[in-house]
Amino acid sequence: MEKLKPIPANVAAIWGAFLYEGVWVCAKNTTRETEVLRHWNQGRVDLMAAVCAYLPEVWRQIEPRWYEAQFPGVFEYEVIAPLGTILGDYLLLNQGSLPPRDFVQTFVRDLIDDFFHSEQHARIHRHTHIDHSAGLH
């Protein structure tokens, strides 16, 4: 079995930012940040380190397709930020605990499947292209 390549540093940094946005930001709940931290009962840096530990699972699943010429949308908006949101939601609903890896593995697979197979992408993002050198899709 071929060893998984590490997440490129620029991709990891961008993904961390979008994951951060997903965990903390919710337009419908202006107190989400306070609630997440209260439930987590540790520091912000500790939480971000814990949620970023799930990013290798995302990379494991997307790496075989990562270098395709064109994605159907912006991966960070449609996969990474929603992953952060579900991690924050899970934490809020489960007494400050983060989900088990198998939950995240399944959720990531579903997000990636939706990203590549959504009919909305076929219509709206047909001509979308973001420079791979920036690490965004």
Inform me whether the pLDDT recorded for 22 exceeds 90: yes
Assigned domain for 3 exists:
no
> Which residues form the domain of 101?
9-130
Assigned domain for 14 exists:
yes
Q: Write the pLDDT tens digit of every residue in 33-74.
A: 899 999 999 999 999 999 999 999 999 999 999 988 788 999
Confidence of residue 27 (pLDDT cuts 50, 70, 90): low
Assigned domain for 123 exists:
yes
What is the share, in percent, of the chain residues with pLDDT greater than 90? 69
Quickly list DSSP for 42-94. S-HHHHHHHHHTTHHHHHHHHHHHHT-S--SS-HIIIIIHHHHHHHHHHHHHT
Q: What is the mean pLDDT of the chain?
A: 85
